[in-house]
Structure 1
Amino acid sequence: MAPPIKVDIVIRAKAVHSLQQSAPAYRSLAVHGGRIWALSDDLHCLDDCIGPDTRVIDEPDQTVLPAFDDTHTHMIFAGLSQFDVPVHLATCIDELVDLLCERAAHTEPGSWITTTANWQEYNLKERRFPTAEELDRASTAHPIVLRRGGHNVIVNSLALQLGGITVDTQSPPGGKIGRAADGSLNGQLQDQGMVPVLRLMPQPNFDDRIRGLESASAAYAAVGIGCVRDCAVPIADVPILMATRDSGKLHVRTRALISSIGLMSASAVASLLNQMEQYRHLQHDDWLSIWGVKFFLDGGIEAGATKEPYEGRPDEGCCGFTDFRGILIWDPDEILEAMDAVLRRGWRIGTHAYGDRAVEILLDVYGRLQQRHPHLAAGTLVMEHGGLADPGAQARTVDMGIPVTIQQPLLHDVAAIQSLYFGKDRTARLFPARGWL
């Protein structure tokens, strides 16, 4: 009889849960080659698997659970923000400007200054976005990009100038260029309106990007997240993910959705798909895989496409919107052809749909795709968020076999400001998790 294999790790604990309904709580677990090798309901039953190089973890008072799988997150941007100005620490606009001033004092003139995105203007004393004029107080010698979430930036005058945005520039389809009451530019750019500035921004150097991603992925792992679905990875950032993995510094399994943000036509998406071919082998990588393509059908907090008008807009006095119902970024027929090209290349699709009007349009588009491709594997078409989906839309989604990643924690961050746009009642039913279940 062959001697028992010597494994890499043995864990002894108060309870080891597999989360299989009929399975008991185990007491010991063996790991070998990155896989669970054995489980036992006896604390010492796996001791024969312990060799001189085995790591033994004795935690008699602890419980072991499978790692969490975060199905909608933005880890690549969390890594990037490691080097950004931490404006989420500010409680008012003056503090925010002071943080930018401090960075400007140590930054070569002409170099870009960017900020973290995980803040809400509603948490500032003024309860509003800063303006370009206020950012100019920090510096007029540096282009400044104040990120807020993934759908908004506020920039200073130099960044507007470099992006070619003037008082005569009109808001593009699927985006907004913000204006003050007198019609002047206030520095706010939304969705497609961000593109002229964002495409100019340089990235941190390669080694810094790896360090940032190492830090961000370690933070995910530290709270029990073992796998992420990174839902808007720029194609240019795939080498960063690969290098981080190859150096052993990518601490969670990662499935990347390649971002199509800024693309507005089927031909532009076809060009992106051509670039993705070089990473085709990552479809089968156990630690880092390319999941598919991420589309954005509508805006977010301030611009999700809704059936009913917004109840209020804190910026409506300066932007000229009446009866505002959000922004559709894509024409439905155009996005259909773009998505069809993705499916014909063998990739999956995840689509941001934040408002109920966008949800129904997306279901129409997905239905047409299913007619063209009647044998799609389960999970090929995914709805991201599914905001404000009513019972009819939920039932239709389930009948079509479309998974939904609600991103429920988002509501905890944005509920206060979302209610300014949607109203409290509509915000309360933004992500109806129980209805989906």
Structure 2
Amino acid sequence: MSLIKVLSRLSAVYCLLLLLFSCQQEPSSSTVIQNVRGYTFYGDSLRTFSAVMFKDGKVVDIYNDTTFQQGAGPDIIDGRGQVMLPGLIDAHGHVMGLGFQQMNVDLTGTTSLDSTLQRVAAYSRQYPELSWIQGRGWNQTRWNINRFPTAEELDDIENKRPVWLRRIDGHAGWANSEAMKRAGINTETSEPEGGKIIRDENGRPTGVFVDAAMHLIESHIPEPSARARSKALEAALLQMRSHGLTSVHDAGVSVKDWQLYKEKADQDSLTTRIYGMIAGAGAVFDTLAREGPIESYSKDRLALQSVKLYADGALGSRGAALIEPYSDAPDNRGLLFFSEEEMTKHILKTASAGFQTNVHAIGDQANRTVLNAFRKVQDSLGRQNLRHRIEHAQIVAPEDISRFRSLGIIASMQPTHATSDMNMAEDRIGAERMEGAYAWQTFLRHGVVVASGSDFPVEHVNPFYGLYAAVTRRDHQGNPEEGWYPGERLSRVQALRSFTVDAAYAAHQETVLGSLEPGKWADFILVDRDIFEVPAREIWQTRVLETWVAGEKVYSAMDK
């Protein structure tokens, strides 16, 4: 073969390789969804748009009065006039709790003791192979019995296997006699610090355990298997994406939770982003904090740079710590889990390691104790810009609200707590203390950042329930007609902001999440109505049609 032919063939091979290489290196094409009625925060204002372009999972820009044509340019998707919103962010949920709720007996919404027992009995018959019957969601304040339930009432339907049912808020549990027997609970059992055992007039435990006392039972429940945990996470992810949640702040992550989340992220099957809060400042923190705060893992699918602490219990079980006694229980001020000195010590430990610290505080005494602790930590460490948070900030002395702003504390609040609690909150604390209760608008007027969430599975995972509660302060039947303490309602713009850009800010993620602005992840949803135009009473009925995360569709109502 002549030299010319050899060179010619080598040249052809070179050109072919060059072509293949250039094809491999060719950047991915852009995608445009147009013909939508879009809303997003853009800078400091809410903007409308008719089209959004994204590439490599991130927003290129939004457009108005621009029509893209099919051809050599971006891929075009017709939005069919649907409403587009940024992906919604729940600033306070419990991912694994949501998943296990799908697998255990769900008592949410039961309106009487009898209906609750019937639901437990049906579940017990359906799963005879279970060694423990577990569930969650009961709420005695909706049963019109004016007391806690008892072990004997559970014994009537299941006395051979242990039964353990967490209250709706997760701050009390109800056991049958077999569960108490296996845990060795009797008259002599002492209450742990930060916990309470409900007893009868003879001092015998009745079956209800509040806050820290719940561990007396739960320490005897077998750990769920790895398979069960994986199924629970899959169930939670389905619930979250089907309701338009593209990100959630998980309030209490264990070592096993984090390992499972990483596995799912590595498998590219984490369809909702998770901003994790390490569960406590103890052994779990010591293990998970070894490598320091994790700002981003797997392209912002995961983060672990915050910690969840508890200051008190819940209002429904009278575990929220109050400055003055409960109006309906004058001998009770609730349960403060830590003294101010102890709380300061815990926050110093976590903040010194560079972790944002988010503290559950519901009662006014708990909120004041936590604010005092944050001030002492700031005096010691200076302003670190860690954006510490108080989770719930439910009942706050009016004079303490301005301290959130001065200390740089974010108020992480849950609008549906107000509409769920309005049947008993004023009974618990009296009318005077309502001035600083569920006071969303007052917090905003003081310049405090308010991030909204649901606290699922305490409340429903659907964020449109929260948007509706924030805007109306009414239940789904429209009561009360003027709204419960209507001066604290949020505007529709304020409400959406609290579930998007301000929730992202509360996770140090405002540069990558929360709005459809250039360079941020293309997380968005398509819904069946315009929440800025429909009557407010319809907001909670909004249905998610599609959910997209990083420019990929992860849910479609058409696939159901």
- TM-score by length of structure 2 reads 0.68
The answer for the alignment partner of 1:372 in structure 2 is: 380
**How far off is 1:327 after superposition?**
0.9
Counting only pairs closer than 5 Å after superposition, residues 149-164 of structure 1 correspond to structure 2 as 149-164=169-184
Instruction: Tell me by how many angstroms 1:383 deviates.
Output: 1.1
**CA shift at 1:108, angstroms?**
5.1
What amino acid does structure 2 have at the position aligned with 1:179? R
> What 5-or-longer segments of structure 2 have no aligned partner?
1-24, 445-560
What is residue 96 of structure 2 aligned with on the other side? Answer: 76
Task: Give the residue type in structure 1 aligned to 2:382.
Answer: P
Q: For residue 304 of structure 1, what is the aligned residue in structure 2?
A: 320
1:26 aligns with 2:49: yes
SS at match of 2:174: strand
| Alpha-carbon separation, structure 1, partners of 2:69 and 2:62 | 8
Shift of 1:270: 4.5
Question: Residue in 2 aligned with 1:382?
Answer: 389
How far, CA to CA, are the matches of 2:321 and 2:90 in structure 1? Answer: 25
Question: Which structure exhibits the higher relative contact order, with contacts defined as CA atoms closer than 8 Å and separated by 6 or more residues?
Answer: 2
Q: 2:284 is paired with a residue of what secondary structure?
A: helix
User: Shift of the alpha carbon at 1:25?
Assistant: 2.7
- 1:14-33 residue CA offsets vs partner (Å, 9 max, x unmatched): 33333225575322212233
Structure 1: state its 5+ residue gaps.
261-268, 314-321
Alignment of 1:144 with 2:163, yes or no, is: yes
- Give 1:294's aligned residue: 308
Asked if structure 1 preserves the Cα contact closer than 8 Å seen for 2:398 and 2:435, the reply is no
Q: Secondary structure at the match of 1:258?
A: strand
2:81 partner SS? strand
2:218 alignment partner in structure 1: 198
User: Whose Rg is larger?
Assistant: 2
| CA shift for structure 1 position 386 | 1.6
Taking the aligned partners of 2:255 and 2:97, their CA distance within structure 1 comes to 13
TM norm structure 1: 0.86
RMSD, aligned α-carbons? 2.7
* Equivalent residue, structure 2, for 1:220: 240
1:39 is aligned to 2:62: yes
Q: What is aligned with 2:141? A: 122
Deviations 1:5-49 (A, max 9, x none): 543642113333332255753222122332113333244337567
Deviates more, 1:364-373 or 1:399-408: 399-408
Aligned in 2, Cα 1:345/1:49: closer, same or farther, shift over 3 Å? farther
1:188 corresponds in structure 2 to 208
Shift in CA distance, 8/179, structure 1 to aligned 2, threshold 3 Å? farther
Aligned equivalent of 2:84: 64
Give the secondary structure class of the aligned counterpart of 1:28.
strand
Residue 250 of structure 2: aligned partner: 230
Partner of 1:319: none
**1:109, 1:142 within 8 Å by CA — same for their partners in 2?**
no
Contact persistence 2:326–2:332 (CA under 8 A): yes
Taking a change above 3 Å as real, the CA distance of residues 49 and 36 of structure 1, as seen in their structure-2 partners, is farther
Contact 2:39–2:86 (8 Å) recurs in 1: yes
SS at match of 1:19: strand
CA pair 405-89 structure 1, distance change in 2 beyond 3 A = closer
**Matched residue type, 1:307:** I
Q: How many residues align?
A: 415
Counterpart residue number, 1:347: 355
Counterparts of 1:174 and 1:24, CA distance in 2: 48
Is the contact made by 1:104 and 1:142 (CA closer than 8 Å) also made in structure 2?
no
- Three-state SS of the structure 1 residue aligned to 2:319 is coil
Name the counterpart of 1:133.
Answer: 152
Contact 1:270-1:341 within 8 A present in 2 as well: no
Change in 2 beyond 3 A, CA 1:35/1:128: farther
